[in-house]
Structure 1
């Protein structure tokens, strides 16, 4: 049986300081079996939160002693408080532990976990956190403003079979993938976002403008995609009065590329320098919106969000022009962002890290996987969920575990059985790495209603192992 290999990144994600404690934790974890990963990560999170409880433990005492060395902690956490969990049976212990820490921040007003939740950095992916006049860079996430966009065309879905090569070539010709990749020379797109005044805000934003131009209209790596599929309306109960039936549709998922990642890294560092928190909460360092640093990040976040939206707009314009079909409707929604909203009569900052806005009547797209359906939805405005829903199916295993679990032959077989053509992609994005999207949607029936169902047919993803997602 293989020994457990907990990575430094996993430990940092649950709050471990970049210190010898990481080496010690990895050494002890290696004495456990690979199948015990979730249990060991939960113990490591609990030990970090209360090392004094493990000083007599035969296995963990040495690590507990290292973590009890006094640190410069000037901000104390609140007593533990409850938060709502949707689909709790499918949510790992690490994500719960991260949320339990997040709701103890002195600025926290409310929290909720969506049914696609899994462990991330700081706030878990699928975590929603409402705060009082404070923004958390790692509560927003690294890929600031990442989003979904859906275009529905007045064309029969059958064209994806009768002209499959034409539609596949459009993806290959007009999209670009891979961390750091983009366009050069005459291939570069133009967009009003490049004139956004926030690019001139400081030296950092000015230095990022040329990279942003080069990557405008590209999609990065990781779980980002551009795909053709069929969209099925069961009836005409939709905002555009589109008759029931199947339609050609384009679905995209990507974010703010190198611009957003660089801004996230910079302002997380700034927040950690200003906001001194206990070890287990250090990745939740926040910025007061009444400070210059808070306002600067807020502007940078919006710049990255506008840029991510522009990337989708460029992609959809190119694809629409390429196929020449009339556009019936377009829907876009984003995650990895913070919004000023009202919650129970109070203005709050709502962080949705891998979670979709789902206020009453708000439209959104919730994808499954490269073979599982996605859904066009309408929010119900559930205050307990902080007017949110999941942003997808959510991973049920890490990328590394997926690469160990599935084979190229298995991926090929499942793609064939679903009639899906994959351009690029890798085993880390195999459908089995994700939760059952139908179970996720069942767990959030109180949060959204389904308007239409999207079925992927021709999918393009990065094929270079990029992890920019």
Structure 2
């Protein structure tokens, strides 16, 4: 084992005063580097300081290499904006359009589209779809990686929803958990194969994340995440769900990958910003090349977070089905906040980021929710190339969370919910129905993107909060 190198040893090699020395010394304390002899460590650092650009894609040394380079060497200029499709531009706030315009100027951008529910986010706007060339952008995937919708349809009559309100309310309280850090007590947890995934052992960043993931599997986040009992109405004959037209009881959930996905997003965004320094307005769009170790590692971590989000929904629906004493007749599930390897109509292979956008390839089923007092829609994608085979992921925000809290009152919202017969557990003013766009107008703006097979109308809703 090597004796410990000091700052002066690195200065002798040519390391400049500053951040690079501290980063390099910290990296040498990692197990794989402590095994090296001092001579081997010095040789490694000598190669690094002589050619830092060679190490910008090395997962272990990229931060140190970036600190060794002058800022101009790491700066990436934007290019001329590429054209993209906007669906219902008149209902999209200027901030979201500006963000999409910036994303279309990235040198790795190939194509893009903006959905009618779009609103301002970090990096890529929520409702933005972006195709890139061999590059993945963590903030174009989003913080809540793999966030998704899941619907279970049960052979129970509509009157069940009105006659058993308190029973269904109790089932939601007993079988769901919401909010930051919340999980099921140890004796109530359900195991899942996703917790055995090798990524928890092989990806350094994830090695201490398994215990928290095991605590939170089967639970939901805060914000706009929910679990609802409601009325499913199937209107399309011969649909892919195999359900005759009619009315059914449904369970609809919306949630993502909990703290696991958020941690992955933050970690790899910082790494991307270190090696891909963009102008200020584009800094949250820093990318990782998929031909780099860091890019491949993020992709594996993102895939795990997506599988984990799916596992959370699977357990939510399993618990509620068991509590109802019923097996679902059909299930529909789709995710957003993810990146896919896809082929464009012209044959080019690209990475398609859908941040708050529903996959709508030809024949692909999905759910586009409205608000607590407006129906959501069960849809079948039409694979429209201009939209990059995508559709909206909901109604989209009309008011920011801050504005909703400032302008709406508790009594006003309670009255609005009562008028629509909604039983709400938890929730806040920032998630009031009035804070969202008109889902019917949104659906009208994307009628060429999806076919509607049916609807889901919420009746008993649970969200984070007292």
How does the TM-score come out when normalised to structure 2? 0.83
- Partner residue in 2 for 1:75: 76
- Partner residue in 1 for 2:292: 291
- Partner residue in 1 for 2:456: 454
User: How much has 1:184 moved relative to structure 2?
Assistant: 2.6
- Partner residue in 2 for 1:404: 406
- Partner residue in 2 for 1:105: 106
Please list the CA deviations of residues 306-330 of structure 1 after superposition, one character each: whole Å capped at 9, or x if unmatched.
0000000000000000001231100
Pairing 1:284-363 to 2, within 5 Å after superposition: 284-344=285-345, 345-363=347-365
8 Å CA contact 2:342, 2:351 repeated in 1: yes
For 1:71 and 1:459, locate their aligned partners in 2 and report how far apart those are by CA, in whole Å: 52
For 1:352 and 1:239, locate their aligned partners in 2 and report how far apart those are by CA, in whole Å: 24
Q: Secondary structure of the equivalent of 1:320?
A: helix
Q: Which runs of 5+ in 1 are unaligned?
A: 1-69, 465-469
- Partner residue in 2 for 1:244: 245
- Partner residue in 2 for 1:41: none
8 Å CA contact 1:72, 1:276 repeated in 2: no
- Partner residue in 2 for 1:183: 184
User: How much has 1:331 moved relative to structure 2?
Assistant: 0.7
- Partner residue in 2 for 1:170: 171
For 1:235 and 1:306, locate their aligned partners in 2 and report how far apart those are by CA, in whole Å: 30
For 1:240 and 1:81, locate their aligned partners in 2 and report how far apart those are by CA, in whole Å: 39
For 1:80 and 1:242, locate their aligned partners in 2 and report how far apart those are by CA, in whole Å: 46
8 Å CA contact 2:373, 2:422 repeated in 1: yes
- Partner residue in 1 for 2:88: 87
8 Å CA contact 1:73, 1:278 repeated in 2: no
- Partner residue in 2 for 1:392: 394
Please list the CA deviations of residues 425-458 of structure 1 after superposition, one character each: whole Å capped at 9, or x if unmatched.
0111000100000000000001001000110000
8 Å CA contact 2:131, 2:353 repeated in 1: yes
8 Å CA contact 1:393, 1:440 repeated in 2: yes
Q: Secondary structure of the equivalent of 2:465?
A: coil
- Check 1:358–1:235 CA distance in 2 against 1; reply closer, same or farther (3 A cut): closer
8 Å CA contact 2:241, 2:331 repeated in 1: no
8 Å CA contact 1:216, 1:310 repeated in 2: yes
8 Å CA contact 2:82, 2:111 repeated in 1: no
User: How much has 1:237 moved relative to structure 2?
Assistant: 2.9
For 1:100 and 1:363, locate their aligned partners in 2 and report how far apart those are by CA, in whole Å: 29
For 1:382 and 1:202, locate their aligned partners in 2 and report how far apart those are by CA, in whole Å: 37
Q: Which runs of 5+ in 2 are unaligned?
A: 1-70
Please list the CA deviations of residues 241-279 of structure 1 after superposition, one character each: whole Å capped at 9, or x if unmatched.
312111000000000000000010000000001111111
User: How much has 1:183 moved relative to structure 2?
Assistant: 1.9
User: How much has 1:71 moved relative to structure 2?
Assistant: 6.7
For 1:351 and 1:93, locate their aligned partners in 2 and report how far apart those are by CA, in whole Å: 21
User: How much has 1:234 moved relative to structure 2?
Assistant: 2.1
- Partner residue in 1 for 2:117: 116
Query: 2:438 aligned to 423, 436, 460, which one?
Result: 436
For 1:326 and 1:307, locate their aligned partners in 2 and report how far apart those are by CA, in whole Å: 23
User: How much has 1:73 moved relative to structure 2?
Assistant: 5.4
For 2:293 and 2:242, locate their aligned partners in 1 and report how far apart those are by CA, in whole Å: 47
- Partner residue in 1 for 2:201: 200
For 1:265 and 1:350, locate their aligned partners in 2 and report how far apart those are by CA, in whole Å: 20
8 Å CA contact 1:144, 1:256 repeated in 2: yes
8 Å CA contact 1:237, 1:451 repeated in 2: no
Query: How many corresponding residue pairs?
Result: 395
How does the TM-score come out when normalised to structure 1? 0.83
8 Å CA contact 2:117, 2:437 repeated in 1: yes
- Partner residue in 1 for 2:262: 261
For 1:174 and 1:307, locate their aligned partners in 2 and report how far apart those are by CA, in whole Å: 18
Q: Which has more radius of gyration?
A: 2
- Partner residue in 2 for 1:53: none
For 1:296 and 1:122, locate their aligned partners in 2 and report how far apart those are by CA, in whole Å: 21
- Partner residue in 1 for 2:157: 156
For 2:321 and 2:392, locate their aligned partners in 1 and report how far apart those are by CA, in whole Å: 28
Q: Which moved more, 1:401-410 or 1:289-298?
A: 401-410
- Partner residue in 2 for 1:16: none
For 1:156 and 1:174, locate their aligned partners in 2 and report how far apart those are by CA, in whole Å: 22
For 1:378 and 1:346, locate their aligned partners in 2 and report how far apart those are by CA, in whole Å: 24
For 2:278 and 2:458, locate their aligned partners in 1 and report how far apart those are by CA, in whole Å: 44
Q: Secondary structure of the equivalent of 1:259?
A: helix
Q: Secondary structure of the equivalent of 1:207?
A: coil
For 1:359 and 1:411, locate their aligned partners in 2 and report how far apart those are by CA, in whole Å: 37
For 1:323 and 1:236, locate their aligned partners in 2 and report how far apart those are by CA, in whole Å: 27
User: How much has 1:72 moved relative to structure 2?
Assistant: 6.5
- Partner residue in 1 for 2:22: none
Tell me how large the CA RMSD over aligned residues is.
1.1
8 Å CA contact 1:148, 1:333 repeated in 2: yes
User: How much has 1:139 moved relative to structure 2?
Assistant: 0.4
